[in-house]
Amino acid sequence: MNRPTLSDALRRVVDEVLEASGLGFAEGREEVEEELVAHFEDGLARGVPEAELIRRFGDPVQAGLRIARTRPRARARERGETGGWWMSMEVWWNEVTRAARRLRRAPGFTTIVVLTLALGVGVNTSIFTVLHAVLLDDLPYEDPDRLVRIYERHEDWGDLEYLRAPLVVELREWEEVFDGVASMYTYREQGADLTDGDIPVRVNAMAVSAGYFETLGRTPLMGRTFEEAESFGTGDVDDTPPPGVAMLSHELWQGHFGGGSDILGRTVQLDGQSIEVVGVMPADFRNPFGVQADLWVPQNLRPGGSNHWRNFYLSGIARVREGVDLDLVDERLAVLGTALVERVPEAGHGATAVRPLQSDVVGETRQTMLWILAAAAALVLLTACVNVANLLFARGLGRDRSLALQSALGSGRGRLIASILLENAILASLGGMLGLLFGWMGVEVLLAISPNALPGVADVSFGFPVFAFAFLVTTGALIVFGLTPALRMSRTAPAEVLRSGDRSSTVGRLVRRLRDGLVVTQVAAALVLVVGAALLTRSFGSLLDVPLGIEPEGVVTFEVHLPGMRYPTPDDRVRFHDEYQERLRSIAGVQSVGATSWLPVNGRYHSWSFNWVPNEDPDPEGEFRGTDVRMIHGDYFEAMGIRLVQGVPPSDIDLEAEQVAWINEEIVRSTMPDVDPLTQRIGLAGTVRRVAGVVADVPFSTRGEVSPKSYVPHVQGDNRNWALTQVVRADGDLDGLLESARAELRAMDPALVLYRPESVEGLLGRVRAQDRFATTLMAAFGLLALTLSLVGTYGVLSGSVASRTREIGIRIALGADAGSVRSLVLRYAAALTIPGVIVGLGLAWLASGWIEALLFEVGAGDPWAYVAALVAFGGVGALAGWLPARRATRVDTVEVLTAE
Amino acid sequence: MTLEREWMRGAAPLAVLTLLSRREMYGYELVEALERDSGGLLSMGQSTVYPLLYNLEGKGHVKAVSRSAPSGRKRKYYRATPAGLKWLESQRSQWAKLVAAMASLGVQDDGSVA
């Protein structure tokens, strides 16, 4: 349609009518417009002055509202429709378009409500999706409730230990308790070079006993699992030839072998040894813990070698017999253990402990962390709902007049409620859709920032039920709070609202109290989150301050594994390490090069024992004292930045002349405080070693836990076949350094792989992942809640100032100065925030016991955390009060008092 | 002189339909006619004419047709429908009864009481 041209003043009248009518296209908005324009054109054509036309026309808003009631019916009649479902569909559609238009006219309100909803829904969807996957979903095995992890329990101090191989063999006989028992080698990752062609690839190979897959209740996709004889049987482990079989993961089969069905029976080289592929596991199979293996090989548990009663190195899993509960299992295990020791005295003790596999996999701290984060997310949802409720109240109050007008003009209560519901439904849908997007992105972000913070077995996929739950909660809040204005209106005489120019008269005391209460709730919930975030941040700060006894800057580490077939003798391997380290030292910028069997701050490993007698040779039959043993090569202490406290570094000693070891300060402190350690000898794995030096303690965890530790030169080890991690300290670009290290390796042996390169700082980041994960999320939640409560408090205060404009104007007219007006508003701000803060502090105090499990060197009652939260909320109160207070002082007295 | 709101509410549809029963008219024409033919008594705020027309249209008492006016402008012409005429008839007879009843109470044409 060509839009006729009218003067601005007349055009404005037409627009006002259309605006007030809220007509949509379907209701013939354009026809009404055309008719009104024609009306004015006709008037002008007859020579009526413009001002007179406007005067005669009357109130455009009244006209618009009347048209709104009459027009759709006329329109339907025009189309020859007299009712029926189509008619009601059209009425609904009209209502929807009108609601959408109303929202478009309030972009600030709409944006904030939709964003708040989306954040509440998104945050909860993502957190609960992860929580669901990790804590609530069953492990992906048959009848997972019957699966347990078995530990040995140290009889003296009750610590849980790995299993000894002979015990695994014994456990298999305890059929009154277990339907199946299996072991896995998870003590450390087993990398291996897989060669199928020319270029080797590095794979994770996990040794598991026969019966492993059966115990978990999973069958291979094709082929077979391991046979009894491949793990168990009579004879010595060293005398039985390796079974030479392997099972592949679905991923390796697809990725490396192209997924062909001819894979079964194929022979590949694993660390230079011929291995036949006998089976492939399904795509969804994962180890319950340990690495996610690329392939599995059978673990030989025959006696001999490492399989004796003094070597704790296997992880055990078992399937409890149907109908046997865990208490009974404990009871029977105690009896069977005692019987074992009587029958086999060299077992020493037979105390075992079982833990449900699910909680073992997740771990207690992680479980607590996830529940705390879930509770925090729920609090975010609460503050979001409260915020939305408050915004809706504010909007409801603002709409009182238009609702009253509609009501006075005969719109039924039902229709009013329907129109408000539609508006809220639109908000909920927009918020929900955006929330879905946020939730999906949130899951991705959580997975991205949580390496090692979540167990690998958990299959985190987007949780639609969770989304539905969060969506329903927010939508419910939206409907309940959104309807209040409509319901209130239906109980208030419209005339009363219309007569009164001052909106405050319609603000029911109850509603005002409800709104205040909502703000108090919001502030309290947000304060709990902020205290939690402050506690975790302080705790993480303390973690970063823990002295680690190493200098991580400028140090890279990587592994090089030597296949036994090509480096068969200890001398071959030592030669390799010597030459390779020499080559590494020649790279520009390299300061020092060493190697170790296990990196610091990376958990315990190789817990062994030593004998010691003060100032004498150790007595092999004497008391065993615990120590973690590290094999080292080259200038390890220097490369890692471990301080030598006493004695000399390995480079100053002729390692071929005598057997030596370095011990840490913890051994000196706990075992030999009164002697000169440099004059002592210790017995370590049957070898007497002179203490050549004492080095500073290096914790095995990020929390600074220290264990007794001895360092033994790799060249003096029995078979010198340790998987060593190279440690290189250098100036400048570490990536460039790694490239050079790779080139040197290729020059020496092109078939070797530089495996898992990582800076020590990267390692520290990795081991701190869980703490950082919890801290980051809690801080984000705290910030979010703080912002939401700022918006909520501000909304209530500015609404209050707006509704009290007249009162404030009178006060100013009566002589109140700006200061006292300002303090009037600020007092209200304080009245809103202070009760919230008090309630919040109480709740935070109550909840703090729970979060204590996650805290490090910070008490749950840490005053600084509470002070920080108080300051933050003081800021919120001041900020939320400041703008409305300023507005209040600028109320124009004359305008206010003459307005009515 | 103008009518009180309640009288206007009852009389306006009757007046509009009476005019439209004689010939079809477009909006401004109707507004003018009301003012002129009722001696200004029924000159309601013009803005109320259109909702009134839509209301009558919704009830099926009038029908609207868009056509070009003699001036060439496009106009929407309203005319009374048979149903509208029937309704007008019943309203008129009620009106007549009311006037008669008032007369029998002694209310005379000029408003004085006999």
The nearest CA of chain A is from the CA of B81 a distance in Å of 12
Tell me phi and psi for residue B70, to 5 degrees.
Answer: -55, -30
CB contact under 8 A, B71 and A45: yes
- Tell me the pLDDT tens digit for each residue of A570-610: 888 889 999 999 999 999 999 999 999 888 887 777 777 78
Of B26, B48, B55, the CB nearest to A58: B48
Q: Which residue of B has its CA nearest to A28?
A: B54
Query: Which residues are CB-neighbours of A130 under 8 A, at least 6 positions away?
Result: A370, A443, A446, A447, A450, A454, A458, A460
Are the beta carbons of A873 and A530 closer than 8 angstroms?
Answer: yes
Q: Nearest CA of chain B to the CA of A103: how many Å?
A: 26
Q: In this predicted complex, what is the ipTM?
A: 0.91
Contacts with A58 from chain B: Cβ below 8 Å = 45-48
Q: Which of residues 269-298 of A touch B (CB under 8 A)?
A: none
Residue A482: how many other CB atoms lie within 10 Å = 26
Res A404: pLDDT = 60
Q: Is A325 helix (H, G, I), strand (E, B) or coil?
A: coil
* Interface subset of A 211-240, CB within 8 angstroms of B: none
pLDDT in tens, A51-66: 888 888 888 888 888 8
Which CA distances in Å does A128 have to A131, A451, A853? 5, 18, 21
- Contact list in B for residue A57 (CB cut-off 8 A) is 45-47
Report residue B46: phi and psi, to 5°.
Answer: -60, -25
Residues of chain B with confidence (pLDDT) below 50: none
User: Are A466 and A374 within 8 A, CB to CB?
Assistant: no
d(CA A824, CA A604): 62
Residues of A in contact with B57 (CB under 8 A): 70, 73-74, 77-78
Q: Is B31 on the interface with A (CB under 8 A)?
A: yes
Predicted TM-score (pTM) above 0.80: no
- pLDDT the model gives residue A462: 66
Please, what are the averages of pLDDT over each run of 10 residues along chain A (900 residues)?
67 86 71 88 89 88 83 60 53 77 82 87 83 77 92 71 89 91 82 77 89 95 93 82 90 90 90 90 88 89 86 90 90 89 84 88 78 83 82 67 58 66 84 87 82 62 72 74 62 52 52 80 87 86 85 92 79 91 93 92 76 83 80 93 93 88 92 90 87 92 86 81 86 88 92 87 85 84 84 77 77 83 84 88 85 81 87 86 82 66
Q: What is the pLDDT at residue A501?
A: 43
Chain A nearest CA to B78, separation (Å): 12
Q: What separation in angstroms does the CA of A75 have from each of A25, A548, B54, B78?
A: 11, 80, 8, 14
Q: Quick check: A34 and B54 CB within 8 A? A: no
Residues of A in contact with B58 (CB under 8 A): 70-71, 73-74, 76-77
**B12 interaction partners in chain A (CB closer than 8 Å):** none
Task: Tell me which chain A residue has its CA closest to the CA of residue B67.
Answer: A35
pLDDT, position A215 = 95
Partner A contacted by B79 (CB < 8 A): no
State whether A39 and B31 contact (CB < 8 Å): yes
A290: left (phi over 0), alpha (psi -120 to 50) or beta: left
Closest CA to A177 of A354, A409, A40, A19: A354
Q: Does B51 touch chain A (CB under 8 A)?
A: yes
Q: Whole-angstrom Cα distance, residue A415 to residue A410?
A: 10
Residues of A in contact with B29 (CB under 8 A): 42
Residue of A nearest to B31 (CA): A39
Inspect the interface and report whether the beta carbons of B45 and A59 lie closer than 8 Å.
Answer: yes
Find out whether A226 and A208 touch, Cβ atoms under 8 Å: yes
Put simply, the answer to whether B48 touches A34 (Cβ < 8 Å) is: no
Q: Which runs of E-coded beta strand occur in A44-188?
A: 147-153, 160-161, 163-164, 178-184
Find residues 35-64 of chain A whose CB sits inside 8 Å of chain B: 35-36, 38-39, 41-43, 45-46, 56-60, 62-63
Angle at Cα A362 formed by Cα A356 and Cα A368, nearest 5°? 110
Interatomic CA distance for residues A572 and A564, integer angstroms: 10
* Length of chain B, in residues: 114
